[in-house]
Chain A
Amino acid sequence: MKFFAFIVVLFTGALLIYGTVDMPDWGDPGSAPNSHVSPRYIEKTLEETATPNAVTSVLADYRGYDTLGETTVIFTAGVVCIMLLRRFR
């Protein structure tokens, strides 16, 4: 059983490594993630949001709706733990 699992793991790992052949080099300044959306965020963050920290301004201002969903996720996890485990006498 463990031998079969090992074969599956090796096969998946080989498939993933084969998939990284097309990906951009490490630290490439002209790669696709670095050249489409994020230069606009870095250049405009100080004049539009008055926040030097680009990560906070993207997280809470430009992508604030996703952060609302994430806060709901962690709130739901807290509620689920109370519901499953808590025994009231």
Chain B
Amino acid sequence: MDTMQFIIGKFNYWIYIVLMMIGFYAMIAKRNLVKKIVGMNIFQTAIILFFISTSSKKGGATIPIIQGGHGDAAGHVIDAAQYLNPLPHVLMLTAIVVMVSTFGVALALLIMIYREYRTFEEDEIYETLEVMRLKK
């Protein structure tokens, strides 16, 4: 019973760690450069989901938009326990924008590599670099 409680309490972290490791494996083990970039994207997405999963609260918490906020601000007391934690959502908005930026710059670098070497496989690029180094 205690093991079941432990698994139920932690399994969200484990799922996202599995996704992170899939992206990590693609980054270090694949030979094609585009597949490495896709692996980096999977890794970043898994980290973002991992953080967002820490913001949930049991007991019927709702989204962090204060209900009844359209009218005047004064009046009822706001109970912080019935709203979700807004802080991981805010930090992950920044992380998503950084993800898009690094993806754009990585693709631009890939296009420049393609213009120079006409291939995306990294062992062919290493061979070309070796030939160019031996020629000097």
Taking Cβ atoms with an 8 Å cutoff, the residues of A that contact B are: 1-2, 5-6, 8-10, 12-13, 16-17, 20-21, 23-29, 31, 33-34, 37-39, 41-43, 45-47, 50-55, 58-59, 63, 66-67, 70, 73-74, 76-78, 80-81, 84-85
Taking Cβ atoms with an 8 Å cutoff, the residues of B that contact A are: 8-14, 17-18, 20-21, 24-25, 28-29, 53-59, 61, 64-67, 69-70, 73-74, 78, 80-81, 83, 85-90, 93-94, 97-98, 100-102, 104-105, 108-109, 111-112
In angstroms, how far is the closest chain A Cβ from the Cβ of B86? 4
Q: Are A26 and B9 in contact (CB under 8 A)?
A: yes
**Would you give 8 A-B contacts (Cβ < 8 Å), ordered by A?**
A5-B29, A9-B24, A29-B61, A38-B87, A42-B86, A46-B78, A50-B73, A58-B86
The chain A residue with its CB closest to the CB of B82 is A42
Rounded to whole angstroms, the CA-CA distance of A52 and B73 in the bound complex is: 9
In angstroms, how far is the closest chain A Cβ from the Cβ of B108? 5
Q: Are A70 and B98 in contact (CB under 8 A)?
A: yes
Q: Are B10 and A25 in contact (CB under 8 A)?
A: yes
Task: Give the number of A-B contacts (CB < 8 Å).
Answer: 146
Q: Are B74 and A55 in contact (CB under 8 A)?
A: no
Interface of A is mostly: helix
